[in-house]
């Protein structure tokens, strides 16, 4: 898999965007590294959580949240147990898994995207049928899966949305994780995992029931549950950082984004998600959507694009109102009631929120 120049890529990989930080950390890192690791576990946690190195290099935080969670995840990868990241949508599971792979193995591209249609070939290996017919089974006709590649080269493989993969296909992972080998009976050989191989899977526990993991597979994983951001300040921090990052990578014109606007969107999302107002005084109905941090980020990014191209260059309530409405009202009937009730009972009475209230009323009419 050749890596193309990051400049033109719409979304560069983590190891491309943060190549400088990784290099600086590798240089400063004098702790023992497990076999196959590019950095020591200690340096990996610093890469994820952010820090300032002795030589002044600033490492930006990639995951904002509990240090505990990151430490458990890294410690798991340092053993030969696989890591399962669980959480509701938008809790940075994929992001964390990508950055872990980038820091540990220097490569986050060995990825299997789980879908209802993921076949066993995506986890084990497939065939180049033209060659298979022409030459019969041979090593050259074999098309290795990302998991097989990772095993052979002692790197990290990632499986996204594990629970969306059909159960029988999921179970192909059991041999990989317990025996650390992948037999190829057609060739009479096997691929043994090299030291440094491990697997990070993510799964969504909202639709856990889709294809729940068999207990045999479950037992091969250490499970880390990623929570929704604990405090409003954490969430504002996450949103601000991501919005700025995305704006830069999408080359959006600079739009002065007031902290107040970000805080307001985060407040709306948190209140609807948790079912109470921030002051804890009154209850709020929760809509059917997840109201995740990721959605708040996309609402703001979208708002910035609107402000830049069609507005006056400043992020105004009107630019985000439509986005918020779309994120909240997934089911037109029941969520509509929830949103209107929230607007009338909470937003309307809040001081300084008149513009936002009017803009939202405009949209939901």
| Positions that interact with another protein (CB under 8 A) | 41-42, 45, 68, 71-72, 74-76, 78-79, 81, 84, 86, 215, 218-219, 221-225, 283
Q: Judged by CB, which is closer to another protein: 216, or 250?
A: 216
Query: Minimum CB separation from another protein for residue 38, in Å?
Result: 16
Q: Which residues contact 317 (CB under 8 A, 6 or more apart)?
A: 261, 264, 355, 356, 358, 359, 360
Query: Minimum CB separation from another protein for residue 184, in Å?
Result: 28
Q: Judged by CB, which is closer to another protein: 177, or 322?
A: 177
Q: Judged by CB, which is closer to another protein: 79, or 113?
A: 79
The Cα angle at residue 61 between residues 29 and 14, in degrees rounded to 5: 80
Euclidean distance between CA atoms 362 and 360, whole angstroms: 5
Q: What are the contacts of 207-213 at 24+ separation with CB within 8 A?
A: 207/163, 207/164, 208/163, 210/163, 210/164, 211/163, 211/164, 211/165, 211/166, 211/167, 211/170, 212/163, 212/167, 213/162, 213/163, 213/170
Euclidean distance between CA atoms 6 and 125, whole angstroms: 29
Q: Judged by CB, which is closer to another protein: 17, or 163?
A: 163
Query: Minimum CB separation from another protein for residue 318, in Å?
Result: 35
User: What backbone torsions phi and psi does residue 141 show, to the nearest 5 degrees?
Assistant: -80, -10
Q: Judged by CB, which is closer to another protein: 79, or 288?
A: 79
- Cα distances (Å, whole numbers) of residue 57 to 22, 28, 317: 11, 10, 37
Q: Judged by CB, which is closer to another protein: 221, or 356?
A: 221
Instruction: Assign 161 to helix, strand or coil.
Output: coil
Q: Judged by CB, which is closer to another protein: 163, or 301?
A: 163
Q: Which two tokens stand for residue 132?
A: 């298979």
Query: Minimum CB separation from another protein for residue 42, in Å?
Result: 6
Query: Minimum CB separation from another protein for residue 78, in Å?
Result: 5
Euclidean distance between CA atoms 306 and 93, whole angstroms: 28
Q: Judged by CB, which is closer to another protein: 156, or 239?
A: 156
Euclidean distance between CA atoms 109 and 14, whole angstroms: 9
Distance from chain centroid for Cα 142: 31
Question: Which residues are paired to 285 by β-bridges?
Answer: none
Query: Minimum CB separation from another protein for residue 340, in Å?
Result: 18
Q: Are 196 and 33 in contact (CB under 8 A)?
A: no
Q: Judged by CB, which is closer to another protein: 42, or 127?
A: 42
Query: Minimum CB separation from another protein for residue 317, in Å?
Result: 31
CA torsion, ordered 322, 325, 331, 334, to nearest 10 deg = -140
Query: Minimum CB separation from another protein for residue 202, in Å?
Result: 12
Query: Minimum CB separation from another protein for residue 80, in Å?
Result: 9
Query: Minimum CB separation from another protein for residue 79, in Å?
Result: 5
Euclidean distance between CA atoms 113 and 295, whole angstroms: 21
Q: Judged by CB, which is closer to another protein: 133, or 216?
A: 216
Q: Are 148 and 117 in contact (CB under 8 A)?
A: no
| Residue of 354, 329, 264 whose CA lies nearest to 300 | 264
């Amino acid at each position: 898999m050749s890596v193309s120049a990051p400049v033109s890529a719409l979304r560069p990989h983590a190891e491309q965007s943060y190549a400088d930080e990784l290099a600086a950390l590798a240089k400063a890192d004098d702790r023992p590294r497990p076999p196959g690791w590019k950095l020591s576990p200690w340096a990996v946690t610093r890469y994820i959580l952010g820090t300032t190195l002795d030589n002044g290099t600033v490492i930006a935080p990639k995951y904002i949240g509990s240090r505990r969670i990151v430490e458990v995840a890294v410690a798991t990868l340092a053993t030969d147990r696989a890591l399962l990241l669980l959480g509701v949508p938008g809790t940075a599971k994929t992001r964390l898994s990508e950055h872990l792979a980038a820091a540990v193995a220097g490569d986050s591209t060995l990825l299997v995207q789980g879908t209802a249609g993921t076949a066993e070939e995506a986890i084990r290996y497939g065939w180049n049928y033209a060659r298979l017919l022409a030459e019969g089974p041979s090593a050259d006709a074999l098309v290795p899966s990302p998991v097989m590649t990772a095993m052979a080269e002692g790197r990290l493989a990632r499986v996204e949305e594990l629970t969306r993969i059909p159960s029988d296909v999921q179970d192909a992972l059991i041999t990989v994780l317990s025996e650390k080998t992948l037999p190829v009976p057609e060739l009479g050989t096997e691929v043994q995992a090299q030291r440094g191989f491990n697997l990070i899977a993510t799964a969504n526990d909202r639709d856990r029931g889709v294809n729940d993991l068999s207990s045999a597979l479950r037992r091969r994983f250490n499970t880390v549950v990623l929570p929704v951001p604990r405090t409003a300040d954490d969430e504002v921090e996450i949103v601000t950082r991501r919005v700025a990052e995305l704006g830069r990578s999408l080359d959006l014109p600079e739009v002065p984004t007031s902290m107040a606007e970000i805080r307001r969107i985060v407040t709306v999302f948190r209140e609807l998600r948790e079912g109470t107002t921030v002051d804890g005084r009154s209850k709020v109905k929760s809509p059917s959507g997840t109201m995740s941090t990721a959605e708040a980020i996309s609402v703001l990014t979208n708002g910035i694009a609107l402000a830049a191209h069609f507005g006056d260059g400043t992020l105004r309530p009107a630019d985000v109102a439509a986005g918020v409405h779309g994120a909240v009202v997934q089911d037109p009937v029941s969520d509509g009631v929830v949103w209107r009730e929230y607007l009338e009972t909470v937003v309307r009475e809040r001081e300084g929120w008149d513009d936002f209230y009017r803009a939202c009323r405009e949209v939901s009419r």
